[in-house]
Amino acid sequence: MRIETRSDMRRWNIIAFIAIIGAFSLLGTLLLQSLAGDWDWSKPWQYREALLRGWGTTVLLSCGAMVGSVLVGLLLMMGQRSPLPAVKWTCRLFLEFVRDTPLLVQLLIGYFVIFAPLMARPLNDIGWDDKIIIGMILLSLFEGAYLGEIFRGGVDSIPKAQWESARAAGLDRGQIYRHVIFPQALRRVLPAVAGQAVSLIKDSSLLSVIGVQEFAYQARVYTSQTYGGLEAYVPLAVGYLLLTAPVAFLSHRLERRYRDET
């Protein structure tokens, strides 16, 4: 059997790369030629301020919901590990409800039935946009439920010997989590957390159902007013890619760094 050398592998890698680039270039050229008469970039340029404003709202929602979802996830993880059955099963029931029902339904019920009657007027009185704040809370609760399960799985994967050794060293519960458990669990759950962060950014587009004027909402406004959809969908895809690609890149860098340290 012939064993390929490193130079052979490099040559085949270059050939494969050129073939893939050529195939995508050909496909893109054919697609642009077929749609040449349907493009009109003057329209989206006229709506650039609205699209940029929507993109900025999506950035704000995503950043706020990421912080909120991590806090919710940590609370749910700690609640599931609580020695109190009432706390443990309350967290468990909340997790099952969130994970077993669609986000769209949760947004509609959470906004129109629960949060808006309680928070809309106080938030508006102090000059805050109630739809953005409530949408951020609802998105944090939804994504935080998934993070809670991810965190719980990471913590449960740590061998019991680590807990016993930390207790023998005189560490209290908080110190054990902070110095022993969390650093090890983070390495194991990092890919799943990064994937959930990307999902959170994309799920923010559903907040338009409660009137949040985010990126996808502004794109739909553009298409309804100009009857041109292709010019809005391209900036929409690029805009979301600019948000999700850095998250994925950072996740790969951190994962590689932790792997090299072990």
Place of tokens 């006229």: 46
State percent of the chain over pLDDT 70: 91
Full set of structural domains in the chain with CATH = 50-261 (1.10.3720.10)
Kindly state the average pLDDT of the residues 171-186: 84
Give the highest mean pLDDT range of 129-133, 183-187, 220-224: 129-133
Taking all residues of the chain, what is their mean pLDDT, rounded to a whole number?
85
Indicate whether 60 pLDDT > 90. yes
Indicate whether 156 pLDDT > 90. no
Kindly state the average pLDDT of the residues 171-182: 84
The model's pTM is 0.81
- For 219, residues 6+ apart whose C-beta sits below 8 A from its C-beta are 51, 54, 232, 233, 235, 236
Nearest to 209 by CA among 104, 116, 119, 133: 104
More confident residue, 211 or 262: 211
Helical segments of the chain, H only: 6-34, 42-46, 48-80, 85-100, 103-109, 116-125, 130-156, 160-168, 173-175, 182-203, 215-226, 230-261
Q: What is the pLDDT of residue 45?
A: 76
Q: What is the pLDDT of residue 1?
A: 44
